[in-house]
Amino acid sequence: MHRRRRTALLLTAAIAAAPLLTACGNDAHPGAAAVVGDQRITVAQLESRVNEVRAAQREAVPDQAQYARVVAGTAGLTRDTLHGMVLDRVLHRAAEDAGVTVTRRDVQELRAQLEGQVGGAKALETAWLQQYGVPPQRLEDNLRLQAEAQKLAAALGTRTDQPAFWAALSKASKELGVELNPRYGSWDAQKVGRVNGKTPWVREVTGGGQQGA
């Protein structure tokens, strides 16, 4: 994934059906989609975020056939959403390491700038939903992250698309020791991103049962 787009937390694709997963007997992370440092991102939290995006898309596209095309054209939303949720925490850790803080004024200034570029508040909400999979209720949080990324890059004397910026995020990833539920792949701290992979954290149960994202 292009680094500019990852920084913007591009979230695309739909909920992919997967077998029911149950914890192994020695599972140290029951109910977790990921563990980032001492923080858990639960499966329930992840599913709630995905549902927010789907609800916003459904409201924006009331036509059933068109909505079905939107869903079909966004395969992988759950995994991409988890990627974004983890990256949020990694970015915040990197910012803390660099002594970077973001004020409400920073966010307001960024929002005003973006609204001016796209043609107003509603247009910004629509653009962020369509381009980055960010629902309106998460726009403020996302803009705070954008501001944090920009201020971190400035503190490092670089830009968000340059190696020095991503080296700082890689360092933060290693410090946090990110772990993903293998249902969603694994986290590559060097590349600062989710990759496909398996570890013996959970086991798959075939047959009947509810399907997850």
211 occurs within a structural domain: no
213 occurs within a structural domain: no
Total Cβ atoms within 10 A of residue 18? 14
Which pLDDT does position 209 carry in this prediction?
37
Which pLDDT does position 2 carry in this prediction?
45
In 12-122, which ranges are E strands? 20-23, 32-36, 39-42
pLDDT along the chain (213 residues), means of 10: 42 27 44 93 95 93 86 82 94 97 96 96 94 93 96 97 96 95 92 75 38 39
Q: How many domains does the chain have?
A: 1
210 occurs within a structural domain: no
- 170 and 190 in contact (C-beta within 8 Å)? yes
What's the domain range around 157?
3-205
Quickly tell me which residue has 């004020």 as its tokens: 103
Q: Which residues are registered as beta bridge partners of 186?
A: 195
Whether pTM > 0.85 for this model: the answer is no
The backbone torsions φ and ψ at residue 119, rounded to the nearest 5 degrees and listed phi first, read 105, 35
CATH number, domain with residue 14: 1.10.4030
123 occurs within a structural domain: yes
